[in-house]
Amino acid sequence: MNSLLLNCDIGESFGPWTMGLDAEVMPYIDCANIACGFHASDPSTMRKTVALAVSHGVRIGAHPGYPDLVGFGRRALDCSPQEVEDLLLYQIGALEALCRSQGTRVSYVKPHGALYQDMMRKPQILRAVLRAVASYDQGLPLMLMSTRDNRAAQAIGDEFGIGLWFEAFADRAYDAAGFLVARSQPGAVHHDSEAIVGQAVTLAKGEALRASDGSALPLQAQTLCVHGDNAGSVAAVRRIRQAFDALAQA
């Protein structure tokens, strides 16, 4: 069995608008990817989310995105590599200040949404992200998507001396290359809790998933992304945690 860390995108509320059941999901996760104000969140939400993570002993990761509150960071922006580096440093630094005020630190970085997807498909964007992380703190790992072949990404990570945490998803469908099926496509997101828990257990056992074309898809990952958007997703996360605990004891 792989010892997969459960990570969750969190702290994505904004002002009076609430997104996600952060307090409900926090007890079951290992890593909290806290939004840094560009795609979602605000200083007060960030501070409260840091405090919630600290109270549960959960690792805190910076979750920076493109400056796109209206599109929730899911729209790709035509940013230069230098602009990507700058916006990463700005957002990591903002979260770090709120962490330090509460006696903790940012412990990894996971880009959000369209920036995450661009990082995976454009080596110049991945290098910009890694350059920002390395210049901030070379000891911070970068979380990125595990695909069928991680060698190119690993080589770029090695260029900058940055550790990589490869990530898999419990509730998303994959194509044959190991990339996520676009949300616009039917079946891209799993909503059935049995399917979500089953995919999580398959990954934890190191077994191959079934890609959208029917082929076997092996994924090597250190962490599993889960979501706490609603009561059903929180229940699925709880079941995944219980399943992982049972596998560890078997």
Q: Show pLDDT as tens, one digit a residue, over the chain (250 residues).
A: 568 999 999 999 999 999 999 999 999 999 999 999 999 999 999 999 999 999 999 999 999 999 999 999 999 999 999 999 999 999 999 999 999 999 999 999 999 999 999 999 999 999 999 999 999 999 999 999 999 999 999 999 999 999 999 999 999 999 999 999 988 899 999 988 899 999 999 999 999 999 999 999 999 999 999 999 888 899 999 999 999 999 888 7
The pLDDT of residue 54 is: 98
Asked if 63 and 36 count as a contact pair (C-beta separation under 8 A), the reply is yes
- No. of helices (H) and no. of strands (E), the chain: 8, 9
Q: pTM above 0.75?
A: yes
Phi, psi of 245 (to 5 degrees): -65, -40
- CATH number for the domain harbouring residue 15: 3.20.20.370
Report angle CA 166, 167, 170 to the nearest 5 degrees.
155
Measured distance CA(180)–CA(175) in Å, rounded: 6
Cα(73)–Cα(227) distance, rounded to whole angstroms? 17
What range defines the domain where residue 127 resides? 5-249
Q: Read off the pLDDT of residues 110-148 as tens digits, 9 standing for 90 and up.
A: 999 999 999 999 999 999 999 999 999 999 999 999 999
Q: 38: which residues sit within 8 A by CB, 6+ positions away?
A: 64, 65, 66, 67, 68, 69, 73, 87, 91
Question: CA 85, CA 81: separation in Å to the nearest integer?
Answer: 6
Polymer length of the chain: 250
Is 137 strand, coil or helix? coil
CA distance 195 to 3: 20
Query: What is the pairing mode between strands 223-226 and 31-35?
Result: unpaired
Cβ neighbours of residue 192 closer than 8 Å, sequence gap 6 or more? none
Number of structural domains, the chain? 1
